[in-house]
Amino acid sequence: MKGALNSYSSLRKAGFLFVVFVLSNCGLSEKTADRFVTMDTDALIEKVSQEPDSLVKVFNFWASWCTPCLKEIPEFEAFAKAHASEVELVFVSLDRQKVWETAVPNAVEELEMTQPIWLIDQGLDFEWRYQVDEGWVLPAIPVTLMIYKSHRKFFMKPLDRKELEEALLELQTL
């Protein structure tokens, strides 16, 4: 069993390296390819567990096949641009690895996404989502997590710019 787990781990690492190679060589601009970061769910949980001191961290969980996700992305982009000195936005893709080199970069290019994109290797374990927020009902997306210092706001619905502005103001005044 241990040998099988080591083989699986080696395959996952090789898969990550392949994705990095493909994303950097699939015709995307260098600026776009540099914004893709692959990580596993443990690394993601570590990052969303950190309390930012100065900027409001916004994590938008989306997928290339999710119509409401794609519809809200321009709202997030405009919000991040308007609040560049206050907000750090990350798009967290929940797409499967098999579309990391096709559907994901296509959506990024089509929607002219400028913020970092994290590609999450979820495997078959979906319990990690409860560590992002215990209220995350599976398999709901889009969802958004906003963090400022020790304060967190979690949204399990599509958001527009007005709702993002209100949440930002609320977080900053707590």
CATH number, domain of 130, equals: 3.40.30.10
Summary mean pLDDT of the chain: 85
Given pLDDT bands bounded at 50, 70 and 90, which one contains residue 33?
Answer: low
23-32, 136-145, 163-172, range with the lowest pLDDT: 23-32
What integer is the mean pLDDT of 55-71? 97
Give the pLDDT mean for 36-58.
92
Rounded distance between C-alpha atoms, residue 174 and residue 169, angstroms? 9
The two structure tokens encoding residue 168: 């930002």
Most confident segment among 14-18, 106-110, 137-141: 106-110
pLDDT higher at 41 or 25 = 41
Tell me the three-class secondary structure of 93-135, residue by residue. Answer: ECCCHHHCCCHHHHHHHHCCCCCCEEEEECCCCCCCHHHHCCC
Where is pLDDT greater, at 153 or 20? 153
Amino acid letter, residue 167: A
- The tally of domains found in the chain comes to 1
Closest CA to 117 of 2, 172, 39, 10: 39
Burial 9-47 (b: 16+ CB within 10 A, else e): eeeeeeebeebbebbeeeebeeebbebbebbebeebeee
Amino acid at 117: I
User: What are the tokens at 34?
Assistant: 């540099």
pLDDT beyond 70 at 161: yes
Sequence-separated contacts (24+) of 168-174 with Cβ below 8 Å: 168/56, 168/79, 168/83, 168/86, 168/87, 171/56, 171/146, 172/56, 172/86, 172/148, 174/148, 174/149
Between 12 and 84, name the one with better pLDDT: 84
Look up residue 27 and give its DSSP letter: S
Range of the domain at 43: 2-172
